[in-house]
Amino acid sequence: MNTAINMTEVQPGDLTAPANLLKHGEGTGPIRTRRPLYVDLLPPCNNACPAGENIQAWLALAQSGQHEQAWRALVRENPLPAVHGRVCYHPCESRCNRAEVDSAVSIHAIERFLGDRAIREGWQLQPDVSPTGQRILIIGAGPSGLSAAYHLAMYGHTVEIHEAGPVPGGMMHFGIPAYRLPRDVLMGEIRRIEALGVKIRLNHKVEHLLEERERGGFDAVFVAIGAHLSRRVDIPARDAGKILDAVSFLHETSTGETPLLGRRVAVYGGGTTAMDTARTALRLGAEDAMIIYRRDREHMPAHPFEADEALAEGVRINWLRRIKHIDESSITVEVMAINDQGDPEPTGQIETLEADTLILALGQDSETEFLKSIPGLEFKKDGTVIVDSNMMTGHAGIFAGGDMVPSERTVTVAVGHGKKAARCMDAWLRGTKHTPSPKHALIRHDQLNLWYFTEADQRQQDELAMEKRRTGFQEVVAGLTEAEATYEARRCFSCGNCFECDGCYGSCPENAITKLGPGKRYRYEYDRCTGCAVCYEQCPCHAIEMISE
């Protein structure tokens, strides 16, 4: 009897024996003890993406030049690819198996290329479901709120966003400088979400949530107000030392209200905001911009590439320094040392640094006080709102996500929260519960047989000349050309998933493999298969396993 098993029918848990225990030639022919099976495994890039993108799927489309199809596969999970291609810290690339061979695939650069092309060519989206009649209120038009609005609109719900600020985007607009995220790019992706029917009410601060919900007839609420309140620290100041906070500074700069800084600017903090603040100060005319941080580079919250970019532009970073007090034109700091537990501790050594202005970049908190009167809501000590596994608060129908819930505070995580909340809200409105699909087993680099691939170094994106960066807010990174993006996409190993290289088909000595046509992969004819494992041993991406009979 001819038994055919298609790889798309395999579920996690079907693999009953470690494939690496099989030796070529054992258990073949009439005494075959194992058979090959096509499988789909989880690539590490997909697994690492906080937004839950199916990266490998859209890369496969991009490498064949199907750019619009690649973009549509991408935005099924993330509606802001042009934004993410610029500001995401790309953990997908940190896990890329290609890095073990030469260098990781530049996933974020390809994502940016697709996002930019979509804006340029006006690609649009339409819900593929009928309107549900359900009304959703979203508080906050930042990355999490916009992501939730997009997905809920695609589910057929009517969505309205109430935003306290004068423009949508949240901290993407007011906290990320234009040299990293041009405002026309951000607004281009927001307008596409609005084109789905999402209504954004600006300059509308919600102070009484339950009343707002009832007055608008909303069936559910997603609160995603972000973290806009700068944390403060008590620093003794003599002679009216000038102290600003980074959030307000970046906000004012983005609106054209340039604050007076003086020639020498110091920034206190070691995160992304600190790096952006120092780089912005240089662009506003500061002759000297320095960062003061109490820990060392290894323990800074900013990503290494962010510190590299700041240093390249002339920012000075004073590691292991804690501010003791500030005068009109100087800052007194104490030198710190990292102890055996990895924590900074004072040494008693004092230094003086010259500065006209100090900008505090010590993190942000969410303004959640207006939620304290809502029955059932619980909060952590830092003011963040506690949600369950479905992103719902303790009050039925009120969900929350982004920076205002306990989590890592990045644009990508916030977008992932918005998507998850949308799925859970949609299920709740339908009287069910969202259950994520089980994940396949993760594919490791040592499981790959990379005979098919040659070494090919990553394509680098052009950057604005250094002498031009300090004269304005022109975008620093230029992105990839179409040819470069296609080349880069073709560097993907397709880890754990068949890409139809015909290796198994060509190597089978028994003609036991049938080609099913482009995009349909292959099928085993087990009445011919001897279990020799040649197909398994040559598969470059480990899309074949040997399983016990």
**Whether residue 287 sits in one domain with residue 351:** yes
Same domain, 262 and 300: yes
Same domain, 20 and 60: no
297 shares a domain with 420:
no
Model confidence pLDDT, tens digit, residues 324-375: 988 888 999 999 999 988 889 999 999 999 999 999 999 887 888 889 999 9
Report CA torsion sign: 241, 302, 306, 344.
Answer: positive
> 321, 347, 363: which is the final residue of a domain?
363
Per-residue pLDDT band for 159 (boundaries 50, 70, 90) equals very high
Largest Cα–Cα separation, the chain: 92
Q: Residue 118: what are its φ and ψ, rounded to 5°?
A: -60, -40
CB 541 within 8 A of CB 498: yes
The answer to whether residue 442 sits within a structural domain is: no
Q: Please give the pLDDT value at position 237.
A: 67
Distance of CA 430 to the CA centre of its chain: 29
Q: What is the domain range of residue 287?
A: 230-363
The region that residue 220 occupies, defined by phi over 0 for left and psi between -120 and 50 for alpha, beta otherwise, is beta
| Mean pLDDT, residues 534-540 | 95
Same domain, 537 and 390: no
In a domain, 298, yes or no: yes
Element housing 267 (H / E) = strand 264-268
Residue 238 is predicted with a pLDDT of: 55
Please give the tally of structural domains in the chain: 4
Q: What is the CATH number of the domain that holds 510?
A: 3.30.70.20
pLDDT tens digits for 485-507?
A: 999 999 999 999 999 999 999 99
pLDDT band at 239 (very low <50, low <70, confident <90, very high): low
Rounded Cα distance, 538 and 536, in Å: 6
Looking at the structure, tell me whether residues 271 and 321 fall in a common domain.
yes
Is the same domain home to 424 and 404?
yes
pLDDT classification of 480: cutoffs 50, 70, 90 = very high
Give the mean pLDDT of the chain: 90
Question: Do 69 and 89 fall into the same domain?
Answer: yes
Determine how many CB atoms are found less than 10 A away from the CB of residue 355: 27
Decide: residue 299, CB within 10 A, 0-12 exposed, 13-18 middle, 19+ buried.
middle
Residues 406-424 have a mean pLDDT of 94
pLDDT in tens, 171-191: 999 999 999 999 999 999 999
pLDDT score of 8 more than 50: no
For the chain, state the CA radius of gyration.
27
CATH of the domain at 196: 3.50.50.60
Please indicate, yes or no, whether the overall pTM of this predicted structure exceeds 0.95: no
SS3 of 29-77: HHHCCEEEEECCCECHHHHHCCCCCCHHHHHHHHHCCCHHHHHHHHHCC
- The pLDDT value recorded for residue 366 is 83
Give 190's strand partners: none
- Whether residues 420 and 355 fall in one domain: no
Residue 468 lies in a domain: yes
Let me know if residue 438 belongs to a domain: no
Say what the pLDDT of residue 128 is. 81
- Residue 28 maps to a domain: yes
Q: What pLDDT, on a 0 to 100 scale, did the predictor assign at position 430? A: 94
Closest CA to 200 of 228, 159, 158: 159
Percent of all residues in the chain with a pLDDT value above 90, rounded to a whole number = 78
Q: Is the pLDDT of residue 252 over 50?
A: yes
**How many whole angstroms separate alpha carbon 76 and alpha carbon 65?**
19
Q: What percent of the chain has pLDDT over 70?
A: 94
| Confidence (pLDDT) at 14 | 41
The pLDDT of residue 329 is 87
- Given a cut of 80, is residue 413 above it in pLDDT? yes
The per-residue pLDDT for range 425-447, each reduced to its tens digit, is 999 999 999 988 899 999 999 99
Residue 511's pLDDT band, with cuts at 50, 70 and 90, is very high
Residue 63 has which token pair? 């490498």
Q: Does position 1 have pLDDT exceeding 80, yes or no?
A: no
Check whether residue 154 and residue 208 sit in a common domain. Answer: yes
Domain end (from 363, 394, 421): 363
Predicted confidence (pLDDT) per residue in 192-230, tens digit: 999 999 999 999 999 999 999 999 999 999 999 988 777
Domain end marker among 323, 343, 363:
363
Q: Does residue 352 form part of some domain?
A: yes
Over the stretch 15-44, which tens digit does the pLDDT of each residue have? 433 333 333 444 455 578 899 999 999 999
- 306 and 402 in a single domain? The answer is no
Q: What is the 3-state secondary structure (H, E, C) of 342-369?
A: CCEEEEEEEEEEECCEEEECCCEECCCH
Asked, for residue 409, whether it belongs to a domain, the answer is: yes
Query: Quick check: 522 and 549 in contact, CB under 8 A?
Result: no
In a domain, 85, yes or no: yes
542 and 424 co-located in one domain: no
Rounded (5°) CA angle 336-338-343: 105
